[in-house]
Amino acid sequence: MDLGAPAKSQIKGLVFDKDGTLFDFNATWGAVVRQLLVAEAGGDRDLVDRLAQALGYDLAQNRFHPGSVVIAEPTYVVAEVIAELTHQTDLQALTDRMNDLSAGVPQVHAADLPALMTQLRAQGHTLGVVTNDAVTPAIRHLKDALIEDKMAFVAGYDSGFGAKPAPGQLLAFCTATGLDPAQCAMIGDSTHDLVAGQAAGMVCIGVLTGPACREELTPHADAVLGSIADLPRWLDSRRMGTKFSAV
C-alpha cells in the first residue's frame, strides 16, 4: 500500500535573524555605515573609498553588495577589517564604538513586528532571535520594536554560543526551550543564517529583506519568502500540505 510521503514535523519554534530579517537591512544600515566610515577614516576620502570596497559597500547608493562582510559576520570581524585599513591597534575600543552606534540606530521594520509576533505566539510558536550583532544592541532593538518580551531566547555573537554560520546559537535556543531542532525553523536573509540552520537540523527559510537575492538563498533554503510578513501564510500552507504562492 502506498502511504505517500512522510508527514512533515510540526514547526513549534521560530528562530529569527535580526538585521535583514526582522529589520530591513539596507533601509536601516545604508546611511549609518557611511557615517561610520567617514568618522573612522577621519574624513580621508581615499581611505573612505578603500574601507567601502573592503566592506562591500556602495557609497553611491548607500547600499551593501551581496556577500558584504557587514551582512553576516560578527561585529568584531567588521571591526578587524576597519582597524587594518585605518591602522588602529585598539580593536576593543573600535568594537565598542561600533556597538554603541548600533544600539542607537532606528530600525526599519520588515513587517508589523508587534502584530506578527503576537500572532505567531498565539498560534503556539516559541520565538527566538540569534544574531551576529552583539547581544546588548540586539536587545535594545527588540525593546524599541516592542517585541523583546515575545522572545524566549536572544543570543548575539558574544553570548557564549559562537556565531553563525556555526549552529551553536540555534542549538542553545533548543536547549533553552526544550524543543528538538527538527521542530524548529531558522529564518534569515543570508547564507550564514541558512547554513547555520542546516547544521542545526532545522527547517530553513530565507527572506529577501537583506542584500542577498533569491538565487543565492534558494540552494540553502526550504523556502524563500519576500519577508517575514509572509511567514504565517507559509506556515499555514505547510501545515495543510498545500502549495504556497506569494501575493
Does residue 247 have a pLDDT over 70?
A: no
Average per-residue pLDDT for the chain:
93
Q: And the C-alpha cell for 236?
A: 499555514
pLDDT (tens digit, 9 = 90+) per residue, 36-86?
Answer: 999 999 989 999 999 999 999 999 998 898 889 888 788 999 999 999 999
Distances (CA, A) of 97 to 22, 104, 111, 232, 240: 23, 11, 29, 37, 48
By the 8 A CB rule, do 56 and 68 touch? yes
pLDDT band at residue 1 using 50, 70 and 90 as cut-offs: very low
Does residue 110 have a pLDDT over 90?
A: yes
Residues 6+ apart with CB under 8 A from 159: 135, 169, 172
DSSP character string of 33-62: HHHHHHHHTTT-HHHHHHHHHHHTEETTTT
pLDDT band at residue 6 using 50, 70 and 90 as cut-offs: very low
By the 8 A CB rule, do 209 and 21 touch? yes
If you ran DSSP here, which 8-state letter would residue 88 be given? -
Q: Delineate the domains of the chain, giving CATH numbers in brackets.
A: 13-25+108-240 (3.40.50.1000), 26-103 (no CATH)
Weakest-pLDDT range from 5-9, 68-72, 197-201:
5-9
Torsions phi, psi of 148, nearest 5? -60, -35
pLDDT (tens digit, 9 = 90+) per residue, 154-183?
Answer: 999 999 999 999 999 999 999 999 999 999
